[in-house]
Amino acid sequence: MTNNFLLGAATAAYQVEGNNDKSDFWIMEHLKNSTFKEKSGEAVDHYNRYEEDIQLMREAGMNAYRFSIEWARIEPEKGIFDREATEHYRNVLECCHENKITPIVTMHHFSSPQWIIREGGWENEKIVDYFKNYCRYVVTELGDLMEFICTINEANMRNELITVMKSFAKSLGINIQVGVKLQLPEKMMAGQREAGKAFGGIESVNTFLSPCTPKGDLLIMQAHEAARDAMRTVDNRFKIGLTLSLHDIQVVGNATEKAVEMWDDEFKHYLPFIEKDDFFGLQNYTRTLVGEEGELSVPEEKKKTQMGYEFYPQALENVIRKVSSELNLPIIVTENGVATDNDKDRVTFIEEALSGVKRCIADGIPVLGYMHWSLLDNFEWQLGYSKTFGLIEVDRKTQTRKPKDSFYRLAEIWKRESER
- Which residues are identified as catalytic? 154
**Beta bridge pairs of residue 335:** 283
Beta pairing, strands 287-291 & 294-295 = antiparallel
Q: Measure CA of the first residue to CA of the last residue in the chain; give whole Å.
A: 11
Task: Order the strands of the 294-295 sheet from edge to edge.
Answer: 248-251, 287-291, 294-295
Rounded to an integer, what distance in angstroms lies between the CA atom of residue 286 and that of residue 27?
A: 31
Rounded to an integer, what distance in angstroms lies between the CA atom of residue 393 and that of residue 378?
A: 9
* Residues of the chain by 3-state class (helix, strand, coil), percent to 5: 45, 20, 40
Contact 287/251 with Cβ under 8 angstroms? no
Residue whose C-alpha is closest to residue 268's, from 216, 318, 327: 327
| DSSP code per residue over 265-301 | HHTGGGHHHHTTSS-EEEE---EEEEETTEEPPPPTT
